[in-house]
Chain A
Amino acid sequence: MAIIEVAGLCKSYGKVKAAHEVTFNVEDGEVFGILGPNGAGKTTTLEIIEGLRTADSGSVRVCDIDVLKEKRAVQELIGVQLQSTTLFDELTVMETIHLFQGLFSKKVNLTSLVTKLALTDKQKSPVKELSGGQKQRLALALALVNDPKVLFLDEPTTGLDPQARRSVWELVQEIRSNGKTIVLTTHYMEEAESLCDRVAVMDHGKIIAMDTPRQLIKNLGFDNTIEFSIGDGLDVRELEKLPSVKSVHNKEKEHHLFTQDPQATLLGLMRLAQERSAAISDLRVHTASLEDVFISLTGRRLRE
Chain B
Amino acid sequence: MKGFWRLVHCQMLMLWRNKEYLVASFGIAFVSMVLFGYLFGVEGSSPFSLGLVDEDRSTTSSTLVEALKISSSLDVQQGERENELEGLRSGKRRVVMVIPSGFEDGLARGGSRIDVYFDQGNMVAATQARAVIQAIVDGLNRQLTGALDPITIKEEGITAKRLRVIDSLTPGLVGMMIMWANMFVGVRLISWRERGILKRLGVTPLRPFNLISSQIVAHVILSFLQAALLVAIGWLLFKVSVQGSYLTLSFMIALGSLCILSLGYIIGSFIKKSESANAVAMLISFPMMFLSGSYFPTDSAPSFIQPLVKLMPLTYLNHALREIINNGSALSSFRTDIFVLLAWTLGSLVLSIRIFRWQ
Which chain A residues have a beta carbon within 8 Å of chain B's beta carbons? 50-52, 72, 75-76, 78, 80, 82, 84-88, 90-91, 95, 98-100, 102-105, 142
Chain B's closest residue to A98 (CB) is B6
Q: Which of A78, A102, A105 counts the most chain B CB atoms within 10 A?
A: A102
B contact residues around A142 at 8 Å (CB): 200
**In whole angstroms, how far apart are the Cα atoms of A117 and B18 in the complex?**
29
A contact residues around B196 at 8 Å (CB): 82, 84-86
How distant is A94 from chain B, measured CB to nearest CB, in Å? 11
**In whole angstroms, how far apart are the Cα atoms of A102 and B205 in the complex?**
10
Residue B355 at the A interface, CB < 8 A? Answer: no
Contact at A87–B200, with CB atoms within 8 Å?
yes
- Interface residues in B320-348 by Cβ distance below 8 A to A read none
Instruction: Beyond the given A50-B203, A103-B3, please list 10 additional residue pairs across the A-B interface where CB-CB is below 8 A.
Output: A80-B200, A86-B200, A88-B192, A88-B197, A99-B7, A99-B10, A103-B7, A103-B205, A104-B3, A104-B205
Q: Which of A91, A95, A103, A105 counts the most chain B CB atoms within 10 A?
A: A103
B contact residues around A100 at 8 Å (CB): 204
Chain A's closest residue to B5 (CB) is A102
Q: Can you list 17 residue pairs at the A/B interface with Cβ under 8 Å?
A: A52-B199, A75-B203, A85-B196, A85-B200, A86-B200, A88-B10, A88-B14, A90-B13, A90-B14, A90-B18, A98-B6, A100-B204, A102-B2, A102-B7, A103-B3, A103-B205, A142-B200
How distant is B303 from chain A, measured CB to nearest CB, in Å? 46
With A85-B200, A88-B197, A102-B6: A75-B205 Cβ-Cβ less than 8 Å: yes
Residue B195 at the A interface, CB < 8 A? Answer: yes
Contact at A51–B3, with CB atoms within 8 Å?
no
How distant is A300 from chain B, measured CB to nearest CB, in Å? 29
**In whole angstroms, how far apart are the Cα atoms of A95 and B9 in the complex?**
10
Contact at A86–B13, with CB atoms within 8 Å?
no
**In whole angstroms, how far apart are the Cα atoms of A98 and B7 in the complex?**
10
Contact at B203–A95, with CB atoms within 8 Å?
no
With A86-B196, A87-B200: A103-B206 Cβ-Cβ less than 8 Å: yes
Contact at A82–B199, with CB atoms within 8 Å?
yes
How distant is B54 from chain A, measured CB to nearest CB, in Å? 64
A contact residues around B204 at 8 Å (CB): 75, 100, 103-104
- Interface residues in B188-235 by Cβ distance below 8 A to A read 192, 195-197, 199-207
- The interface bits of chain B over 1-33 (1 if a CB of A lies within 8 angstroms of the residue's CB, else 0) are 011101100100110011000000000000000
How distant is A110 from chain B, measured CB to nearest CB, in Å? 13
Contact at B10–A91, with CB atoms within 8 Å?
yes
**In whole angstroms, how far apart are the Cα atoms of A72 and B203 in the complex?**
8
Q: Which 9 A-B pairs have the closest CB atoms?
A: A102-B3, A102-B6, A90-B14, A80-B203, A86-B195, A72-B205, A103-B204, A90-B17, A86-B196
Contact at A82–B200, with CB atoms within 8 Å?
yes
**In whole angstroms, how far apart are the Cα atoms of A103 and B199 in the complex?**
14
**In whole angstroms, how far apart are the Cα atoms of A104 and B2 in the complex?**
10
**In whole angstroms, how far apart are the Cα atoms of A100 and B206 in the complex?**
9
Q: Which of A50, A75, A80, A91 contacts B14 (CB 8 A)?
A: A91
B contact residues around A85 at 8 Å (CB): 196, 200
B contact residues around A104 at 8 Å (CB): 3, 204-205
A contact residues around B18 at 8 Å (CB): 90
Contact at A52–B206, with CB atoms within 8 Å?
no
**In whole angstroms, how far apart are the Cα atoms of A86 and B201 in the complex?**
11
Q: Which of A50, A84, A87, A95 contacts B13 (CB 8 A)?
A: A95
A contact residues around B205 at 8 Å (CB): 72, 75-76, 103-105
How distant is A219 from chain B, measured CB to nearest CB, in Å? 35
Q: Which of A52, A72, A78, A90 contacts B207 (CB 8 A)?
A: A72
**In whole angstroms, how far apart are the Cα atoms of A91 and B18 in the complex?**
11
Chain A's closest residue to B192 (CB) is A88
A contact residues around B200 at 8 Å (CB): 80, 82, 85-87, 142
With A86-B196, A102-B6, A103-B3: A91-B13 Cβ-Cβ less than 8 Å: yes
B contact residues around A50 at 8 Å (CB): 203
**In whole angstroms, how far apart are the Cα atoms of A280 and B113 in the complex?**
105
**In whole angstroms, how far apart are the Cα atoms of A69 and B280 in the complex?**
39
A contact residues around B17 at 8 Å (CB): 90
How distant is A67 from chain B, measured CB to nearest CB, in Å? 11
**In whole angstroms, how far apart are the Cα atoms of A255 and B135 in the complex?**
94
B contact residues around A51 at 8 Å (CB): 202-203
A contact residues around B6 at 8 Å (CB): 98-99, 102
- The interface bits of chain B over 68-97 (1 if a CB of A lies within 8 angstroms of the residue's CB, else 0) are 000000000000000000000000000000
**In whole angstroms, how far apart are the Cα atoms of A31 and B347 in the complex?**
51
**In whole angstroms, how far apart are the Cα atoms of A235 and B192 in the complex?**
57
Q: Which of B13, B200, B202, B207 counts the most chain A CB atoms within 10 A?
A: B200
How distant is B137 from chain A, measured CB to nearest CB, in Å? 50
How distant is A130 from chain B, measured CB to nearest CB, in Å? 15
**In whole angstroms, how far apart are the Cα atoms of A80 and B206 in the complex?**
14
B contact residues around A88 at 8 Å (CB): 10, 14, 192, 197
A contact residues around B197 at 8 Å (CB): 86-88
**In whole angstroms, how far apart are the Cα atoms of A24 and B196 in the complex?**
28
Chain B's closest residue to A82 (CB) is B200
- Interface residues in B144-202 by Cβ distance below 8 A to A read 192, 195-197, 199-202
Contact at A82–B3, with CB atoms within 8 Å?
no
**In whole angstroms, how far apart are the Cα atoms of A165 and B13 in the complex?**
33
How distant is A87 from chain B, measured CB to nearest CB, in Å? 6
**In whole angstroms, how far apart are the Cα atoms of A84 and B194 in the complex?**
12
With A98-B6, A99-B6: A52-B14 Cβ-Cβ less than 8 Å: no
Chain B's closest residue to A85 (CB) is B200
Chain B's closest residue to A76 (CB) is B205
How distant is B1 from chain A, measured CB to nearest CB, in Å? 10
**In whole angstroms, how far apart are the Cα atoms of A80 and B203 in the complex?**
7
Chain B's closest residue to A84 (CB) is B196
